[in-house]
Amino acid sequence: MRPSWDEYFMDIAQIVKKRSTCLRRQVGAVIVKDNRILTTGYNGVPPKMRHCEEIGCLRQKLNIPSGERHELCRALHAEQNAVIQAAKYGISVEGSTIYVTAQPCVICAKILIASGIKRIVFNGDYPDELSLSMLEESGIEIKKL
């Protein structure tokens, strides 16, 4: 059976997340416009930095619950990396859809709203109600697979 476009791109996001070096949660993202992939991203540290797999996770050491104290994390989120890649290579994400393997956090929600993404498709939960409330207020279409 042929997958829908949403299923197809979410399957690709699931593969992208395998590149993640996060010790706590692996997340993948794919930004798509007109059924064409613009960029991908996964959560991990910025280029030229040592991965958490090598040096450990401060948030894990401090027993910080998921969804809290993002400023203590060395990594960028998958959505952030996908938007950064678009900016780095001069690709507009205005009017596009992002497929993410977890619900965006509030920081990523603000970035996605400001970047002009019109639709978010995700399939995993994340403990951040403010994120969903901001996305709904912004008028971005949200779909959970």
Which residues fall in the annotated binding site for Zn(2+)?
Answer: 77, 105, 108
Q: Which is the catalytic residue, given 7, 79, 94, 129?
A: 79
Q: Give the Cβ contact number of residue 57 at 10 Å.
A: 17
Alpha helices (H) along the chain? 5-16, 52-55, 58-61, 78-88, 106-115, 129-138
Determine the residue type at 56: G
| 59: Cα separation from own chain's centroid | 19
- The residue among 125, 124, 117, 123 whose CA lies nearest residue 141 is 117
Instruction: Give catalytic status of residue 79 as yes or no.
Output: yes
Which residues partner with 104 through β-bridges? none
Beta bridge partners of 103: none
Catalytic residue ranges: 79
